[in-house]
Structure 1
Amino acid sequence: MHNPLARARYLLAAHTPRQLPPDGGFEVAFAGRSNAGKSSALNALCQQNALARVSKTPGRTQQLVYFDIPPSTDRYLVDLPGYGYAKVPQDLQAHWQAFIDGYFQTRQALRGLVVVMDIRHPLKDYDRQMLGYAVSRGLPAHALLTKADKLGRGQQSQALLAVRKELFSAYGDTVSVQTFSGESKQGVDEARAVVGGWLQL
């Protein structure tokens, strides 16, 4: 199956709004708590091993990292800073909060948000905050329950059902959800179809 995302490549890392690319075209943002498996998910979707650095130290990503998808010049995947890391000074956390707030409120190119959560620990406060950003902007969001290979099929179904129920009661049908594993490639095609649809690839 042809996968346009396989052409994705690193473009830039933005630490302030001024460093972002021109606000046109289509972007899909990826968010996830530290160690939720966000880098592995991005790598699996793009069929690349090291597109997003898989880091052993949580919270290494402290910029908005942009990947473009040639040959188009206005299609981007955006890796948002990992969160939940304690080693960041207070003022830097405040800077991040303001940057991310502004990005979600004003970025016209943003077409959807993927929130990556460990299937064993889903819907933490930050996951809800990120989903809330998307929903309040009227943007579609998609929850990836990663590391599904760590659970048996029955447990996966139970977790999926519980998360789906909670998301529906909080956000209606604006947030979709699926199980996913970068390791076993479970759910990769499904997630790729969602992201590709938002990017109109």
Structure 2
Amino acid sequence: MSNPLQGAQFVLAAHRVSQLPADRGAEVAFAGRSNAGKSSALNALTGHKGLARTSKTPGRTQQMVSFSLPPYKDVPVSRAQDAQERLPLAQAEGEPSLEVRLVDLPGYGYAKVPQELREHWRQEIDRYLHQRRSLRGVVLIADIRHPLKEFDRMMLDFCFATGLPCHLLLTKADKLSRNQAAQALAAMRKSFPDGLHATAQVFSSTAGTGVDEARAAVVALLRQPREGVHQDR
């Protein structure tokens, strides 16, 4: 199966929301604790091993990092059917092109950084989630072996309150048996409150478990129509 997220490229690393690319098009944010495997997941999904920095020291992502995906206009109209098979992001004939991006949010909750920087991250992530009009959904990364932490719950609560779609990747599934992973996934889905626009799956960047499913979920979020705008803060 072809990779619809292939061709992702680093654009910039922003210390503040105001430094991100122009707020147009569509983007999906990746959020999660610093030790949950967020960078590895991004690399696996895009098929680019060096796209997001990975390290044995959690918390190396200390800015909002924006990655661009190939614009829709790069897909020749004359090959629309083939393009739909290779790149599900492609626009239908006659529709305008759309800029698409992935945004890696700073890892939270584990990094050994000054309290002042932690507070800066908290404020900027909050501002990003509330103000970013091109944001179509969140991919939340969490270690399948552990219960959701406070930050994870806060992110789900935000998505619930604003109606923002969320896809939960339960990473490091290769550390569990297939039966254990299935039980963890079922328990997670059962814990979602009614009305939460969230999906969940097991995932392992090491074993390749769930990679195609996750790619399809990201594409679905990018193609999600924008319903309303978050309140500015």
TM-score (norm 2): 0.81
1:172 is matched with 195
Q: Counterpart of 1:144 in 2: which secondary structure?
A: strand
1:185 is matched with 208
Query: How many residue pairs are counted as aligned between the two chains?
Result: 199
Amino acid at match of 1:84: G
Where does the alignment leave 5 or more consecutive residues of structure 1 unmatched?
Answer: none
Residue of 106, 111, 114 corresponding to 2:139 = 114
Amino acid at match of 1:101: D
Structure with greater helix percent: 1
Instruction: Report how far residue 171 of structure 1 moved.
Output: 4.9
Change (3 A) 1:179 1:86: closer
Q: Deviation string for 1:102-126 (max 9, x for gaps)? A: 1111111000101111100131111
Amino acid at match of 2:125: I
Instruction: Report how far residue 74 of structure 1 moved.
Output: 1.6
Q: For 2:159 and 2:196, how far apart are their aligned partners in 1? A: 13
1:163 is matched with 188
Q: Counterpart of 1:135 in 2: which secondary structure?
A: helix
Which segment drifts farther, 72-81 or 21-30?
72-81
State whether residues 141 and 169 of structure 2, in contact with CA within 8 Å, keep that contact through their aligned partners in structure 1.
Answer: yes
Q: For 1:47 and 1:187, how far apart are their aligned partners in 2? A: 14
Which segment drifts farther, 128-137 or 41-50?
128-137
2:53 is matched with 53
Q: For 2:194 and 2:114, how far apart are their aligned partners in 1? A: 33
Change (3 A) 1:6 1:122: farther
Q: For 2:194 and 2:112, how far apart are their aligned partners in 1? A: 32
| Percent identity between the two aligned chains | 59
* Aligned-residue CA RMSD (Å): 1.5
Instruction: Report how far residue 148 of structure 1 moved.
Output: 0.5
Where does the alignment leave 5 or more consecutive residues of structure 2 unmatched?
Answer: 73-97, 225-233
State whether residues 34 and 111 of structure 2, in contact with CA within 8 Å, keep that contact through their aligned partners in structure 1.
Answer: no
Instruction: Report how far residue 94 of structure 1 moved.
Output: 1.4
1:15 matched to 2:15: yes
Highest CA radius of gyration, 1 or 2?
Answer: 2
Q: For 1:126 and 1:115, how far apart are their aligned partners in 2? A: 10
Instruction: Report how far residue 189 of structure 1 moved.
Output: 0.7
Which residues of 2 match residues 119-134 of structure 1 at below 5 A?
Answer: 119-134=144-159
Amino acid at match of 1:91: E
1:33 matched to 2:33: yes
TM-score (norm 1): 0.94
Amino acid at match of 1:12: L
1:153 matched to 2:178: yes
